[in-house]
């Protein structure tokens, strides 16, 4: 399945290049559309609680971000949640976790149905997270970096009392850090795992661990990446760190050392894990089954490792 799914993202030099996000609509407070209507002429959908459905896989780090932020901000009642099966077949993400194999709200068996309803010519990879308009069944967005930012900035009327301010007033430092972490760590583990040449793999590997070394040093004297306050950037790195030893270290050959062998990064990751909305949204079973069963050119036997013991996160 891996070769067919990711062929379009492999370069002639063996470097893996992630596809862009096809659907980039936004749900914003300044949309000129009335409630119940579609996007305005700038592609902005109206903020409307109960209208949109967030489709995620608990295995996927990009989707996991949106699950954490949705819960941190208290948006569970405003934006409903659908969870796909961690095992994809040739048709992509499936709603086989639901009793009748269909999402009970959207009425579809595969997320690809919503993609094709929105764009019948779409032939790229179907990705999560995706926000679906329940009125039309169309995809509003699969732009995972923007989804969580908009949860913080556009849905403020529906945040729970005392919700964290995940975006600082001055975003410059955080945005630079997010970019570095995305390039070298979040996407870097995939560039290692899906590389098809030794040179591409080693370049991604070196960049990954160089960045982890920098972050290890950064966390020597602070609780979070930007100081004493939890921010969006902490959510973004957590979803990679929590998968590191379980899948990226072995499956993606990111094996210079384990997360547990970085004293400050490991302490930081465990601290995040024990916060509300973080560890309680981690499903190691779904994470491991997705990576080791779905990527059959990397792991052709489909054997799922028994370890590591998840109790290390809480003991």
Q: Which residues are catalytic?
A: 60, 190
CA torsion, points 103, 105, 107, 112, in degrees to nearest 10? -60
Give the separation between CA 26 and CA 255, rounded to whole angstroms.
38
- Strands 44-46 and 26-28, how do they pair? parallel
Specify the DSSP element, H or E, that contains 209. Answer: helix 198-218
C-beta of residue 95 within 8 angstroms of C-beta of residue 110: yes
The secondary structure of 66-135 as a DSSP string is HHHHHHHHT-TTTSEEEE--SS-BTTB-B-TTSTTSS-TTT--SBHHHHHHHH-TT--S---S-EEEETT
CA distance 157 to 139: 23
Q: Is the dihedral of CA 307, 277, 271, 315 positive or negative?
A: negative
Question: At which residue do the structure tokens 């050392």 appear?
Answer: 257
> Largest Cα–Cα distance of the chain, in whole Å?
53
**Which tokens go with 6?**
């990711």
Decide if 86 contacts 94 (C-beta within 8 A).
no
Q: Residue 77's closest CA among 112, 55, 105, 53?
A: 53
Q: Which residues of 103-225 form beta strands (DSSP E)?
A: 130-133, 139-141
């Amino acid at each position: 399945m891996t070769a067919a799914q990711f062929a379009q993202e492999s370069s002639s030099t063996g470097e893996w290049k992630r596809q862009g996000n096809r659907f980039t609509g936004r749900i914003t407070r300044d949309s000129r559309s009335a409630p119940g209507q579609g996007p305005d002429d700038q592609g902005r959908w109206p903020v409307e609680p109960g209208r949109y459905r967030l489709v995620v896989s608990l295995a996927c780090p990009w989707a996991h971000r949106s699950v954490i932020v949705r819960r941190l901000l208290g948006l569970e009642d405003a934006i409903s949640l659908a969870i796909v099966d961690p095992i994809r077949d040739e048709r992509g993400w499936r709603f086989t976790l639901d009793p009748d194999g269909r999402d009970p709200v959207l009425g579809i068996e595969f997320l690809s149905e919503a993609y094709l309803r929105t764009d019948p010519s779409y032939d790229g990879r179907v990705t999560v997270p995706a926000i679906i308009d329940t009125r039309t069944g169309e995809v509003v967005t699969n732009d995972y970096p923007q989804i969580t930012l908009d949860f913080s900035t556009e849905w403020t009327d529906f945040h729970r009392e005392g919700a964290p301010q995940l975006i600082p007033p001055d975003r410059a430092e955080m945005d630079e850090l997010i970019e570095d972490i995305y390039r070298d760590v979040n996407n870097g583990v995939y560039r290692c795992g899906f590389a098809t040449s030794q040179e591409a793999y080693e370049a991604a590997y070196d960049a990954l661990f160089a960045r982890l070394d920098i972050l290890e040093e950064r966390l020597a004297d602070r609780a979070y990446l930007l100081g004493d306050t939890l921010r969006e950037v902490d959510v973004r790195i957590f979803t990679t760190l929590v998968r590191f030893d379980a899948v990226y270290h072995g499956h993606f050959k990111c094996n210079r050392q384990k997360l547990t062998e970085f004293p400050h990064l490991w302490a930081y990751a465990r601290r995040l894990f024990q916060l509300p909305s973080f560890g309680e949204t981690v499903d190691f079973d779904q994470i491991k089954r997705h990576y080791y069963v779905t990527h059959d050119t990397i792991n052709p036997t489909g054997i799922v490792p028994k370890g590591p013991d998840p109790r290390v996160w809480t003991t």
